[in-house]
Chain A
Amino acid sequence: MKRSNKPIFWSLFGAGGMLSALIGPMLVFLTVVAVPLGLVSKQTMDYSRALAFAQSATGKLVLLVVISLFLFHGMHRLYHTLHDFGVHIGPGAKALCHGLALLGTLVAAYLLFKLGWA
């Protein structure tokens, strides 16, 4: 029997799942619910503060890890859920799903690079 390559994708899925389970709810609440609704001061996410964060080493790491792992987790699960629904796009589906996660990661890395350092 051929050895499956699943461990690679499953590890990324697991890491992303754990990260999104630990901090996902709070992140989503703060950034796209609390701030827009004014529950939290809009200053916490204004241009200067966001830029300073994205230009810092910590900020770059956090943003890259969150975007990348969330995408790898989500796309892996999406791929399997499509299968559960009986939607069979074919062997390319796996490459497409994980490829999109990789693409998102690369785009994030590129954007963080373009922002430069503080």
Chain B
Amino acid sequence: MSAPQTYTRPIAGWWRRNPFYRAYIVREMTCIAVIAYALELLVGLARLVQGREAFEAWLASLARPWPIFLNCVALLLIAYHAWTWFEVMPKTLPFINLGGRRVPDRTIVASGAIAAVIASLVVLFAFLYL
């Protein structure tokens, strides 16, 4: 008896079918903001090499409406990346036991968020005062 003919459904557009998938895609797409910012820094660095006038012109261009808007979008996306990064962090770590008890996932997420707050404050301090 030959094998019956099975039917395979098309997978295309899978990410549109479910809010969970759509949130995943947004999370993944935050990479655009990370890349864009890195390139922005690279351009800034190049302008710095070109000298005072070029660098100051670049700084002035950042203050224009479109760059401000896009950079605010980038900020939101990178913040979302940071949040989702710590959210999935427990999945990448082995079970942690402290004092004979399992450390719950929410503690790991909170630790990550706190570390981010501390690191951000360090960056803020260094940026303003060092």
A61 CB-CB contact with B under 8 Å: no
| Residues 55-102 of B at the A interface (beta carbon under 8 Å) | 55-56, 59, 62-63, 67-68, 71-72, 74-75, 78-79, 81-82, 85-86
A57 CB-CB contact with B under 8 Å: no
Cα(A84)–Cα(B42), bound, Å:
28
B103 CB-CB contact with A under 8 Å: no
Contact B25 A22 (CB under 8 A): no
B92 nearest CB neighbor, chain A only = A14
Q: Which 3 A/B pairs are nearest by Cβ-Cβ distance?
A: A74-B35, A77-B31, A26-B120
Q: In the complex, how many residue pairs between chain A and chain B have their CB atoms under 8 Å apart?
A: 153
- Chain A residues at the B interface, C-beta cutoff of 8 Å: 16-18, 20-33, 35-37, 40, 42, 44-47, 50-51, 54, 63, 66-67, 70-71, 73-75, 77-78, 80-81, 84-86, 104, 107-108, 111-112, 114-115
Output the least CB separation between B110 and chain A (Å): 14
Output the least CB separation between A76 and chain B (Å): 8
Q: List 12 A-B contacts (CB under 8 A).
A: A17-B85, A23-B119, A24-B79, A29-B75, A67-B45, A70-B35, A70-B37, A71-B35, A78-B31, A80-B28, A111-B45, A111-B46
Interface size class of B (residues with CB under 8 A): 35 or more
Contacts of B38 in A (CB 8 A): 66-67, 70-71, 74, 104
Known contacts A26-B120, A32-B67, A77-B28; A42/B75 CB under 8 A: no
Contact A36 B75 (CB under 8 A): no
